[in-house]
Structure 1
């Protein structure tokens, strides 16, 4: 029997990335092209179809070997009906993406949000390979999350499970309003946006820090300053790590995962972030919930989305 392949689609506002995976979750080939959101829904769908055909055509595989296509998108999705409810970055609202793609491709299609497919990718063939119960954090502009229970994505009753960035962890007296409209969310302190905000606030207060000389600050510069011994930067990183570790302690008490995986741009900070997160987790989590639990950086980087999307047909 010929080898079965699966194509994953990472649907972004600027580009569409597609990848071919085998049944073991090995990423065999990738291809990328512009999304062209400004041209409307039908052109974006045309592009997805075109890129899926192109990647299979330039691979050593035949179209008949393609079992199915999965797509991940940053936005709200109705997984059961295959509808993108709202994806502001690509201008989609109530788009029946599954039926549109199935009609054009003649293959089964599954969809999910980007955080869930990234989590699935890491569990299928990344840092969580071989683990059935795992929580994935994506620390970027916001804080995304994906929950894998018993080897499958946990959706919740309305498909919104995994919104870890909106776990309330910051005390009221320190809390600021989050983009979701509530206060105290993890996203306000442990995202790249939150870290930059805290750094800019410190500079505005007149705190003595090398960050005062930085223009158009980004999170990496805050982490670099902390690694160089800047006390203000260290305080900011420790605060971000504290609330990240606190959120993990809360999640552990509810779901008891074996592994926490942390990805996204902020995760590249390395030991200065992870050592503190592990220390906080150990301090705030009852001993039985610590045993056998690991907190690890993600491995797949920007490929997690396409790998996880491809895996929707096998692991969801």
Structure 2
């Protein structure tokens, strides 16, 4: 029998990325183009079909070798029904994407949200390769996550499992309101948005920091300042790491994963973030629950979504 391949689609607000993976999760080919979401649902579906067919045609594989297509999307998804319930960045609401794509491809199609497929990608062939039970945090504009149990995505009863960014860990007197409407969420301090907010607050208070000379503060500049010895920046980084690790300690007590994988732009900070996270995790986690547990940076970068989407055909 010919080798089967698995196609992953990362459906974003501005771009669609597609890739071909083999059964081991190795990313063999990638391609992509604009989403053109402003032109409506059917144009987006047309583009997905166009990009998927193009990548297969340009590869050494035939269409008969395509086992199926998986798609990850930033938004709320009904995985069981194959429906994108709401994806504001694409303008999709109650779109039966599985049905639409299966009619185009005559192949099985599976969908999930972007955080879950990124977690699956890392578990399949990234930092969690060979690990059956792991948890993935994605630190970007917000804080997302995914849970892998026995090698498969854990959805929860309504598909909302893994919303680590909305764990309320900041004490009331220090808490601010999160975009979700609640107070003290991890996302308010450990996301890039939260780190930038804390830096701007410090500058506005008149704290002595090199960040006061920066016009448009980004999270990277806060980490760079901390590495250079800026005490204010270091306090911000430590606070972000502290509450991230406290949430991990709670997750670890419930799920006991073998590996925590941390991805997203903020994870590029390196040791200055990870060393503090590991230290705080050890402080707040009972010793038996620490044994054999690792906290690691993600490996796949921007390809995690494509790989994980392809992996939906085998591991969901």
TM-score range, shorter chain: over 0.9
Secondary structure at the aligned position of 1:220 is classed as helix
Aligned to 2:180: 180
Secondary structure at the aligned position of 2:299 is classed as coil
Structure 1, unpaired ranges of 5+: none
Give the distance between the partners of 1:24 and 1:147, measured in 2 at CA.
20
Aligned to 1:301: 301
Give the distance between the partners of 1:73 and 1:227, measured in 2 at CA.
35
Normalized against structure 1, the TM-score is what?
1.00
Alignment: residue pair count? 316
1:1-316 correspondence runs (5 A): 1-316=1-316
Give the distance between the partners of 2:253 and 2:127, measured in 1 at CA.
22
Secondary structure at the aligned position of 2:68 is classed as strand
Give the distance between the partners of 2:107 and 2:217, measured in 1 at CA.
45
Give the distance between the partners of 1:181 and 1:217, measured in 2 at CA.
25
Normalized against structure 2, the TM-score is what?
1.00
Q: What is the CA distance between 1:218 and its match in structure 2?
A: 0.5
Poorly superposed stretches of 4+, deviation over 3 Å: none
Secondary structure at the aligned position of 1:60 is classed as coil
Q: What is the CA distance between 1:216 and its match in structure 2?
A: 1.2
Give the distance between the partners of 1:168 and 1:132, measured in 2 at CA.
28
Deviations along 1:27-67, one digit per CA (max 9) or x if unpaired, are 00000100001101100000000000000000000000000
Q: What is the CA distance between 1:24 and its match in structure 2?
A: 0.6
